Amino acid sequence: MFEIRKILREDFNAVLGMMRRFYNSPALITNGSEKIYAANVENCLSGSAYIEGFVFLDAEKIIGYGMLAKSYSTEFGGECIWIEDIFIEPEYRGRGLGTKFLRYVKEFYPDKILRLEAEHENSKALAVYKNLGFKELPYLELVFTRED
């Protein structure tokens, strides 16, 4: 049976390696950077109020990770949990682990608005999200960063 738990210091390198593969996959438009990956994991480990990290385990083996970001949505009038990353090693995909993680988040944050982003080409993930009650929003999101 698969287990989900918070990221621990000893998980740092395993999660970093998965982030590299995830952010360089067709599932995302942006590639990120080593600096961003390391900062994300470090912020999960340091108890940031804005991000939480989880690892997915098969026995003791890390087979994936997930990250959540916290914010407030004036659009929906409440606290918001962004499901930022979900990565599962290819040989473990299709076994319900993504669904288990999303249900875990829904149960842990029952009164929060849950949001996520996905690429239209990621049809398998979209099917899972829609099956769990997520609805597509029909607008474009824009971003400005200091690095641009």
Active-site positions? Answer: 129
How far is it, in rounded angstroms, from Cα 96 to Cα 8?
A: 23
How far is it, in rounded angstroms, from Cα 39 to Cα 33?
A: 10
How far is it, in rounded angstroms, from Cα 86 to Cα 63?
A: 11
Task: Using alpha carbons, list the distances in angstroms from residue 3 to 48, 54, 66, 120, 141.
Answer: 23, 10, 12, 29, 33
